[in-house]
Structures are given as structure tokens and as C-alpha cells.
Amino acid sequence: MPQSKAPPTYNDLMSLDRQVCFGLYAASNLVIRQYRPLLAELGLTFPQYLVMLVLWESEPQTVSAIGERLHLDSGTLTPLLKRLETNGFVVRRRDDTDERRVLISLTTHGHTLRAPARQITETFREGVSFSAAETETLASSLAQLISALEH
């Protein structure tokens, strides 16, 4: 006797999960790859760009505050921030009131990159045929998934 309306099988669910796992991985890498040559003109890598976005919003910020925002730990951020400092984008200094903290601030050079960085966002949008509505759907799904994974 044929089943005309079975619930999703074990395999269906697994292949859907695979699509999400693989899709996130591939899409993230593809987006980073698109940004790379644009950001290279400013002397930034993609993770460095994300740190700059956080600092353009507000500064100074501690290493751990940046880490919470980007879901990265000190093992990743410390060397990245040192490279940003070496390249003249940020300054690292100990907090006088709590010597455990390191405050990250922007240099003048770091501030001036904000405008050209906006142009990069535009260039990226133009290179990808993805409507504002599709972008919104994706952003919303991602926000839901992130909050489900954050604990």
C-alpha cells in the first residue's frame, strides 16, 4: 500500500541540514572572496574589515567587547589587532583603571578609511544580482540561526 503523504524521512532532514552546513560554509567563503580584492586596496583583510566596522560604530573598545560582537576569542583577535596596529589602523593601550584590559582605538588613518569602505559595499552590491528583498530574507534567517546558536 503506497504512502501518499509521508513525513520527511531521516534522509530528507539530513540532506537539508547538509545544504545549510555546506551552504553557510560555501556562501561565507564566496562572500569573503568577493570582498578580498576590494578590501586589499584599503590594506584590509575581511576579518580585519569586520573589526573596523565594530570600531567605526564605537571606540575605544576592549578586546573582549570586540570578541563578543564578532564571536571571536583572544587567540584570533590579539594577533589580528597587532597587525592592524602595525599597519597604522588602530592603537592598543592598557586601561589605566584596570590593567587587565586593552583598549583599541582608531588612528586618524583608521577613521579616514570609513568613507572608501562605504564605496566597497556599493561595489559589492553591484557585482551580485541579489535584490534588497532577498537580502532581507537572508539577513533575517541568519539572525534567527545565530541567536539559536548563541546560547
Partner DNA sequence: GCAAATTTGGTTGCATGCAATTATATTGCG
Partner DNA sequence: CGCAATATAATTGCATGCAACCAAATTTGC
Which chain residues interact with its own copies by CB under 8 A? 8, 10, 13-14, 16-35, 46-47, 50, 53, 70-72, 118, 121-122, 124-125, 128-130, 132, 134-139, 141-146, 148-150
Distances (CA, A) of 53 to 9, 18, 42, 46, 50: 43, 31, 14, 11, 5
Name the strand (E) or helix (H) holding 98: strand 98-106
In whole angstroms, how close is the CB of 82 to DNA at the nearest point? Answer: 7
Nearer to DNA, 76 or 137 (CB): 76
Question: Residue 42 carries which DSSP code?
Answer: T
**What track of x and - describes contact with DNA for positions 70 through 109 (by CB under 7 A)?**
-xxxxxxxxxxx-x--------x----xxxxxx-------
In whole angstroms, how close is the CB of 112 to its own copies at the nearest point? Answer: 17
**What track of x and - describes contact with DNA for positions 54 through 73 (by CB under 7 A)?**
--------xxxx-x---xxx
Q: Residue 109: how many CB atoms within 10 A of its CB? A: 12
Number of residues that bind DNA (CB under 7 A): 33
Nearer to its own copies, 32 or 42 (CB): 32
Nearest to 138 by CA among 15, 31, 11, 12: 31
Instruction: Say if residues 35 and 44 touch (Cβ distance below 8 Å).
Output: no
For residue 99, the SS3 value is: strand
Q: Which residues contact 115 (CB under 8 A, 6 or more apart)?
A: none
Nearer to DNA, 29 or 137 (CB): 29
- Please report, as ranges, the residues that interact with DNA according to CB under 7 A: 25, 29, 32-33, 36, 45-48, 62-65, 67, 71-81, 83, 92, 97-102
